[in-house]
Amino acid sequence: MNQVFVSNHSACLQASDESAADFSTLVHTVGASAGHAACMVGLYCPSIGNFLDGKTASVGLLNNLSIAAIGEAGKTFADVVTQAAAAFVNDTDGIAIDTAADEAINVKLTSPQFLNHDFQIVQAMKTGNPVASPIIHSSQLKSLTYSPNVPPVKHKLALALDAAYTPVLKDEVTLVLNVRWPQGIAFYESQINASTSIAGVGQAAAAFDNPQRIYKASITVDTANDNAVSTALVTAINASSMGDIVTATDNSTTGIFVEADFFGVIIDAAIVVGGTKVVGSTNNAAMTIGVGSFAEVVSAEKAALYSQGVMNRMYFPTGEAINASTTAGGASTETATYDRIVFEYENRASKMPGFNGGGNMSTATLYIPANSDLTTGEDTGASVVAALALGDQGTKVEVQHRW
């Protein structure tokens, strides 16, 4: 099972004081900035009947630090573990640690210390009932990965035509372009059709309904100087069929640039004169797929629905709208970005003879706005960091817990 949930609220998670068994307090608001009383997504704990937001230990999912022992100042861990148990009893005044003489020794856990027994990821829909993941028991959780937003970069090539070729009248100069599409079709389709409708999921836009992978654009030299050749070739490329996929520009010094029009496209090019290659391409900007782009979130939602089919509404988000937003978290431009949290858990009910452990694993992916406050929450104080034991996210580095 592969489910995708999207929060567009700066606070990310529903506050614990907004508990409701029917999840009616969740609010579907696309592009929500600070000031909203309720969120779009919550981490619900059926055992306690409350949302988990990390405000206190009782409303967090797990803890990644634990006090191993209290010892005298200057003592090593080995010294501490050999002390008598009586040495760790609270003082009569109720103070557990004497700051003048004792030290708390924290250790990084090698296995999770769960603060609650189970959880569900719950999301409000635009219309109809909220949707949710299955109830996941804490012991089923095998990994939790937090990946901060990384902006995608379009692939851009440089071709040093001026240095490699001396123009000769009547020469035929041809750019040969090779294109690869390594991502799922929905990733590219979402960049053309950023529709909020999920109708027709799996049907690629017409621009991608083409098996062609190699393109050519040619000119005949009629002015024998470098600038004229580069200008003419740029015009020919952009006017050809490859102009729907890449954009060519004159770099004004040594040749031309050719840049992909879409994130996630890999291109390679060479310039041929009279059947002989005169120059290949070098990376001016390497392709970076990034993390949490709008295209990724849209395509992840569509792929999750398309691969699973429309089944039980409580398990598979359905409806007339997707949840990815071009203004996630109140972003002011249509360059909304998300951070990504992936829960990988064991589906024990699915074990079948002859299947390995990987076949029993399910994932739930939660996208939260990259401009959200992970530590305190702008609206409710809800904290993704505290609820999911992500550690200090002041610098927003990737964190992975795997058990």
Whether 232 shows a pLDDT value over 50: the answer reads yes
Name residue 44's beta-bridge partners. 51, 120
Q: How confident is the model at residue 91 (pLDDT cuts 50, 70, 90)?
A: very low
Q: How many CA atoms lie within 13 A of 181 on its CB side?
A: 19
Q: How confident is the model at residue 75 (pLDDT cuts 50, 70, 90)?
A: low
How far apart CA 58 and CA 283 sit, in angstroms, is: 52
How far apart CA 323 and CA 141 sit, in angstroms, is: 25
* Three-state DSSP class for residue 328: helix
Record the tokens describing residue 88, joined without a space. Answer: 């760790």
CA 345 to chain centre: 18
Q: Whole-prediction pTM value?
A: 0.79
What's the average model confidence in pLDDT over 215-241?
94
What's the average model confidence in pLDDT over 372-384?
64
Whole-number pLDDT of residue 275:
87
Contact 8, 322 (CB under 8 A): no
Whether 371 shows a pLDDT value over 90: the answer reads no
What's the average model confidence in pLDDT over 130-135?
88
What's the average model confidence in pLDDT over 137-150?
91
Nearest of 365, 367, 330, 298 to residue 10 by alpha carbon: 330
Higher pLDDT, 367 or 381: 367
Handedness of CA 357, 358, 363, 369 (dihedral sign): positive
Q: Are strands 2-6 and 361-369 parallel, antiparallel or unpaired?
A: parallel
Whether 92 shows a pLDDT value over 50: the answer reads no
Q: How confident is the model at residue 85 (pLDDT cuts 50, 70, 90)?
A: very low
* Three-state DSSP class for residue 354: coil
Whether 166 shows a pLDDT value over 60: the answer reads yes
Contact 389, 111 (CB under 8 A): no
How far apart CA 403 and CA 399 sit, in angstroms, is: 13
Cα Dmax for the chain = 99
Provide the residue ranges of all domains of the chain, joining segments of one domain with +: 2-61+115-151+296-402, 67-107, 156-285
Whether 234 shows a pLDDT value over 80: the answer reads yes
Torsion of CA 285, 288, 291, 295, to 10 degrees: 90
Nearest of 275, 185, 169, 266 to residue 222 by alpha carbon: 169
**314 φ, ψ to 5°?**
-70, -15
Listed ranges 21-25, 31-35, 81-85; the one with the highest mean pLDDT: 21-25
Higher pLDDT, 76 or 165: 165
Q: How confident is the model at residue 153 (pLDDT cuts 50, 70, 90)?
A: very high
Tell me how many degrees the CA angle 17-19-20 measures, rounded to the nearest 5.
155
Beta strands in 83-198 (DSSP E): 102-114, 118-123, 131-132, 136-137, 141-147, 156-159, 172-180
The residues near 48 (Cβ < 8 Å, ≥ 6 apart) are 58, 59, 116
How far apart CA 8 and CA 37 sit, in angstroms, is: 13
How far apart CA 146 and CA 321 sit, in angstroms, is: 26
Q: How confident is the model at residue 102 (pLDDT cuts 50, 70, 90)?
A: low
What mean pLDDT, rounded, does the chain reach?
A: 77
Beta strands in 124-245 (DSSP E): 131-132, 136-137, 141-147, 156-159, 172-180, 214-220
Q: Which of 67-81, 126-140, 333-347, 381-395 has the lowest mean pLDDT?
A: 67-81
Residues listed for the chain: 403
Whether 378 shows a pLDDT value over 80: the answer reads no
How far apart CA 339 and CA 146 sit, in angstroms, is: 8
What's the average model confidence in pLDDT over 41-66?
84
Percentage of residues in the chain having pLDDT higher than 70: 69
CA 84 to chain centre: 49
Higher pLDDT, 1 or 153: 153
Q: How many CA atoms lie within 13 A of 58 on its CB side?
A: 6
What's the average model confidence in pLDDT over 173-182?
92
